[in-house]
Structure 1
Amino acid sequence: MKQPSRPTKSKSTERRKTRAELNLEGRERKRKSKLKGNVAGNRSHPKVTQQQGNAGPKKSDPRLGSKTPVPLVAEGKVAVAPVAANAHAEPEKMTRQQELRMLENDPRLDQLLDRLEAGDTLSGEDQTWLEARLDRIEELMVLLGIDIDDDEKDDEAEEDMYRLLKGQ
């Protein structure tokens, strides 16, 4: 039998890899197979695909804000939008007599005075409100020249004041 002839050696002879080179290639293949899948923290930083037609560069991290400094103190004249104060006209000022009449006809004031006469105790908020209204009534009466004798403690004066407060 005739032996097959060996191919003639080409000019470039491939040299065999050493054991160290083979080990290095094996480690690289193993590392590449381990790196399959998503990187750690992938859920919190999803990849954003750039859409066509977007103008300007996208920020890599949406949590990062602008790096431009923001002035903390307003310098110079700042343009302020006009306040709608003109839209709300100031309420017409009442005369002292109108204010006194309004206070005397206040249903809450009447109710609290009735409760006081009945001997009930008022809450702190009601008590301060009542005192403020009575002080204002007294002040208006002095300004208008209406005189009620506070020095006399007779029943008629109290009834007169109560009648005045009730508007009867």
Structure 2
Amino acid sequence: MDETKARKYVLAVVFIAPRDVHTIRSTLRGLRVPGSRSVHFHKANNTQRAAVIDALLEHGVIAMTITNRPHPRVPPREACIRALARQAIHLEAQAIVLERDQTIERSDRRWLFEELAKSTVLYEHRDRHEDALLWAADAIAWCWQHGGKWKDRVMPLIVHSIDAAADSAKPGPPA
């Protein structure tokens, strides 16, 4: 899962089957610029962006976007993280991996604990260089916000989009 806040708050979530995790991580690592520890779409050139999207399409990665309209009582990130947790339960996900940001990690953990307490879904924060799958979510988030041809390129990956403010626990994409 990754986020973008450029125009409105968007969480991009990628779903990877456990049997495909190693292959997709390896493919994405192979798309790094020599000497870099990760792929960051904001800093990538268009050739690298296209290669990452092509790899995601080739591997059949599916994704979901979670957006949130501003709400006076619930911050956008909280609403989206809670909606993500509910979707993870519904989809019987094994784990949620979030990109580490120490300034918000404590809040994330509280919201996830509250939502996932009675489930078997695990969650953890990792630095972006620790898990190449975070780059897939970064790609979806960047393309979604950037719009135009980039959004069009990732649309085949998006199987579900929800508005966290309107969604209490509606089912997500098929498991």
Q: When the two structures are superposed, what TM-score results if normalisation uses the length of structure 1?
A: 0.25
Higher relative contact order (CA 8 A, sep 6+): 2
Q: Find the structure with the greater CA-based Rg.
A: 1
Higher strand share: 2
Normalising by structure 2, what TM-score? Answer: 0.25
